[in-house]
Amino acid sequence: MNVVITGAGSGIGRACAQRFAAAGATIYALGRRIEPLKALCAELRTAVPTSVDVGDGPAVRRVFAELPTVDVLVLNAGLCATADLGAPEGDAVWRSVLRTNLDGVFHCLDAALPHLPDGGRVVVVSSGLGKLGRAGYGAYCAAKHGVLGLVRAAAQELAPRRITVNAVCPGWVDTPMARADLARAAEARALPLGALRSEAMAGIPLGRFVEAAEVAELIAFLASPAAAMITGEAYNLSGGEFTA
């Protein structure tokens, strides 16, 4: 089984690579930074590293043109940046976030289509903010909401080929990106990082952040034969932080 994972160098993408590799899959690990990908592939010994910016459509098409059959496509690459409406940096944040988090999903799905066999699996990592809103996160929320619309449309288009397309919507996941986001927010609010982390934790009924490996397990299930009749769905994984 061939599994292509974007944003594979860290966090959820890395956990997915480890999970699928443990099941015997060959991993095609995509990401912007080659060094984390090389480290991952050295660990797994069944992975192929490729550096690519998913927001660059032509570059994505060149990469996918060289790939074999893609049995499972995990679209995880993303970035988080914030800007309030009216902020000087707002336009740049909007463009960079949507370029990676929404355009990147489209570019990869579109380029992968000729390589997906009938019965293939596509899983996209959205976010709880793909269902909710948060002040300062307008670009991120818009991109992740957009991802869910694309997932639902693609699920309808690809259903005749029995290709399922689903999304996962994590809440706070203990990843480098989430830790950096908390650090930025703590600095902006002049709060100790520990205090802001405790504040975030207080909003999670189950009392802790999600682990990246737990997200990978849900993704692996959606890619499994047991999930053959699940498509167009968006699964929460938030410890009860959100239920919409």
Residues noted as catalytic: 140
Q: How far apart are CA 68 and CA 177, in angstroms?
A: 30
Q: How far apart are CA 105 and CA 122, in angstroms?
A: 11
46 in Cβ contact with 3 (< 8 Å): no
What is the SS3 assignment for 199?
helix
E-state strands within the chain:
2-6, 26-31, 47-51, 72-75, 121-125, 164-170, 234-237
Instruction: Locate all alpha helices (DSSP H) within 69-223, ordered by sequence.
Output: 90-98, 104-112, 138-158, 176-188, 193-202, 212-222
Which strands form 234-237's sheet, in the order they lie side by side? 47-51, 26-31, 2-6, 72-75, 121-125, 164-170, 234-237
